[in-house]
Amino acid sequence: MHAREIRHGIHAIIMAHWERRLFDSLIPLPDGTSYNAYLVEGRDATALIDSADPALQDELMEHLRGVQRVDYIVSQHSEQDHSGAIPLVLERFPDARIVCSGKAADLLTTHLGVSGDRLIIAEDGRTIDLGGRTLQFVHTTWVHWPETLCTYVPQDKVLFTCDFFGSHLATNDLVVTDEGRVYEAAKRYYAEIMMPFRAIITKNLEKLGALDFEMIAPSHGPVYDRPAFILDAYRDWVSPRMKNEVVLPYVSMHGSTAAMIKHLIDALTRHGVTVHPFDLTVTDIGKLAITLVDAATLIVGTPTVHVGPHPAVYYAAHLANLLRPKLKYAAIIGSYGWSSKAIEQITELIPRLKVEVLGTVLHKGHPTAETYGQLDALAASVAKAHREDALVTV
Ligand code: FEO
């Protein structure tokens, strides 16, 4: 895609990776992704903000073929999807210097072999004058690495944010045209990348709130020409508010756990609790992460494999523990053939989830009337806890 102007003298170079389906060999990308770089021209100097993933570095270099000068390469984040093409850009523009945070200096050196004498360290608040246009660097640590920063251009009221506010979405829309579609992609991104850092993101949102900007230009997904849309979404996601929702990842091998899950869904439904069930043998783990952003309760359903939980359940529980969602309550249900330590082992997998356990229901063989009664009691406990917390129903 050709470079497109977002402000006079500021061009977005959006490299859409339409066919990419997995990020970090972990995160499903149903809608692909993009790597965005921005060319900011001043009267005296030109800056390139971020670069591209090595997979599309040739496309970036093609864009830069007709560009006469790049004096600064602003590396807002050292992860390779934004910094990977920097060595090629440095070759193409041998006088260019890299501008980055102090913590990024080490990362760029160790990850890309960049020479230290080409680095300019941008302290928080430092500015670089391009001639009639200023780059102001704002440290926004832990969105989502310790070195991340944003770049503000006050003359144009544009804020460049790299991963912060980004969405994994390949599109030829320069700016957001379908807020519903971008909302889901941005929430997926937040859930998988940002969610563990909620507290510091809250501080970063306050810090950026002091700036007067009318456009957010992330390095994944389309540009926001209505920043309130994504700012409001982030404020909601990081807030302590939870919803009257249960996330229910499960696996069933011979139907016993599936019967329990079906009964529990019906019971929770009768109590007016929204349920998000995920059969982990077929689920998109990103969808699971999205629902974890708001839900108050996690209930894990598992059969027993070699005395422990099914490996897919093991993985989902470990992932939830890494993502540290707001979750206030949890429960474990499941079945076994002859013996099980599934409840103990799942509990050990989620020490970072500060949850109150509302119950466990583990049944030998196919569920009976007694098992269903226990599940009804569990559903009632969940509903009561949610009611007492006055959780929002949406
Ligand atoms: Fe888009 Fe953290 O890299």
What pTM was computed for the model?
A: 0.96
Once rounded to an integer, what is the mean pLDDT over residues 237-263? Answer: 97
* Cβ neighbours for 346, distance < 8 A, ≥ 6 positions apart: 300, 302, 309, 313, 314, 317, 332
- % of the chain residues with pLDDT over 90: 96
Distance between CA atoms of 97 and 77, rounded to whole angstroms? Answer: 15
Tell me what pLDDT residue 391 has: 82
Q: Which helix (H) or strand (E) holds 243?
A: strand 243-250
pLDDT over 80 at 393, yes or no: no
- What are the Cα distances from residue 156, in Å, to 90, 187, 365? 27, 27, 66
Once rounded to an integer, what is the mean pLDDT over residues 239-254? Answer: 97
Tell me what pLDDT residue 169 has: 97
Distance between CA atoms of 374 and 196, rounded to whole angstroms? Answer: 33
Once rounded to an integer, what is the mean pLDDT over residues 48-57? Answer: 98
- Using one digit for the tens of pLDDT, what is the confidence trace for 55-72? 999 999 999 999 999 999
* Domain 4-238 shares a fold with domain 243-388: no
Is the distance from the beta carbon of residue 20 to the nearest atom of ligand 1 less than 6 Å?
Answer: no
- Using one digit for the tens of pLDDT, what is the confidence trace for 109-127? 999 999 999 999 999 999 9
- For ligand 1, the distance from its centroid to the CA atom of residue 179, given in whole angstroms, is 22
- Taking a C-beta distance cutoff of 8 angstroms, is the pair 76, 82 a contact? yes
Could you identify the atom of ligand 1 that is nearest to the CA of residue 144?
2
Taking CA atoms only, the protein residue closest to ligand 1 atom 1 is: 163
Is the distance from the beta carbon of residue 184 to the nearest atom of ligand 1 less than 6 Å?
Answer: no
- For ligand 1, the distance from its centroid to the CA atom of residue 35, given in whole angstroms, is 9
- For ligand 1, the distance from its centroid to the CA atom of residue 180, given in whole angstroms, is 22
- What are the Cα distances from residue 194, in Å, to 17, 107, 142, 324, 362? 21, 20, 8, 10, 34
Is the distance from the beta carbon of residue 82 to the nearest atom of ligand 1 less than 6 Å?
Answer: yes
At 239, which amino acid appears? S
Q: What angle do CA 104, 82, 200 make, to 5 degrees?
A: 55
Could you identify the atom of ligand 1 that is nearest to the CA of residue 80?
3
Distance between CA atoms of 295 and 188, rounded to whole angstroms? Answer: 14
Distance between CA atoms of 281 and 96, rounded to whole angstroms? Answer: 49
- For ligand 1, the distance from its centroid to the CA atom of residue 79, given in whole angstroms, is 5
User: Between 3.60.15.10, 1.20.210.10, 3.30.70.260, 1.10.10.10, what CATH number should domain 4-238 receive?
Assistant: 3.60.15.10
Tell me what pLDDT residue 261 has: 98
Q: What angle do CA 214, 43, 93 make, to 5 degrees?
A: 100
Distance between CA atoms of 304 and 336, rounded to whole angstroms? Answer: 5
Distance between CA atoms of 171 and 173, rounded to whole angstroms? Answer: 5
pLDDT over 90 at 387, yes or no: yes
- For ligand 1, the distance from its centroid to the CA atom of residue 86, given in whole angstroms, is 15
| Measured torsion, CA atoms of residues 122, 127, 128, 134, in degrees rounded to the nearest 10 | 140
Distance between CA atoms of 210 and 233, rounded to whole angstroms? Answer: 18
- For ligand 1, the distance from its centroid to the CA atom of residue 264, given in whole angstroms, is 38
Residue in the structure block whose two tokens are 């523990």: 321
In the chain, DSSP finds a helix count (H) and a strand count (E) of: 12, 21
Task: Please tell me the least confidently modeled range out of 20-29, 240-249, 344-353, 363-372.
Answer: 20-29
- The architecture (CATH level 2) of 243-388 comes to 3-Layer(aba) Sandwich (3.40)
Residue spans per domain, the chain: 4-238, 243-388
Tell me what pLDDT residue 394 has: 63
Is the distance from the beta carbon of residue 220 to the nearest atom of ligand 1 less than 6 Å?
Answer: yes
Is the distance from the beta carbon of residue 77 to the nearest atom of ligand 1 less than 6 Å?
Answer: yes
Once rounded to an integer, what is the mean pLDDT over residues 357-373? Answer: 97
- Taking a C-beta distance cutoff of 8 angstroms, is the pair 92, 73 a contact? no
pLDDT over 80 at 2, yes or no: no
pLDDT over 70 at 343, yes or no: yes
C-alpha of 113 from chain center: 28
Once rounded to an integer, what is the mean pLDDT over residues 212-227? Answer: 98
- For ligand 1, the distance from its centroid to the CA atom of residue 82, given in whole angstroms, is 7
- For ligand 1, the distance from its centroid to the CA atom of residue 192, given in whole angstroms, is 11
- Taking a C-beta distance cutoff of 8 angstroms, is the pair 285, 28 a contact? yes
* Cα end-to-end distance, the chain, whole Å: 39
Once rounded to an integer, what is the mean pLDDT over residues 280-300? Answer: 97
At 304, which amino acid appears? T
Backbone angles phi, psi at 143, to 5 degrees: -125, 65
Could you identify the atom of ligand 1 that is nearest to the CA of residue 35?
1
- Using one digit for the tens of pLDDT, what is the confidence trace for 156-165? 999 999 999 9
- Taking a C-beta distance cutoff of 8 angstroms, is the pair 293, 195 a contact? yes
- % of the chain residues with pLDDT over 70: 99
Is the distance from the beta carbon of residue 81 to the nearest atom of ligand 1 less than 6 Å?
Answer: yes
Once rounded to an integer, what is the mean pLDDT over residues 170-178? Answer: 97
Tell me what pLDDT residue 237 has: 98
Q: DSSP string spanning 54-118?
A: GGGHHHHHHHGGG-----EEE-S--SHHHHTTHHHHHHHSTT-EEEE-HHHHHHHHHHH---GGG
Taking CA atoms only, the protein residue closest to ligand 1 atom 2 is: 79
- If one counts every other C-beta atom within 10 angstroms of the C-beta of residue 14, the result is 27
Tell me what pLDDT residue 26 has: 87
- Taking a C-beta distance cutoff of 8 angstroms, is the pair 294, 243 a contact? yes
| Token pair in block for residue 189 | 């991104």
- Taking a C-beta distance cutoff of 8 angstroms, is the pair 41, 10 a contact? yes
**Average pLDDT score, the chain:** 96
Taking CA atoms only, the protein residue closest to ligand 1 atom 3 is: 79
Confidence label for 330 from pLDDT (cuts 50, 70 and 90): very high
Q: How many residues does the chain have?
A: 394
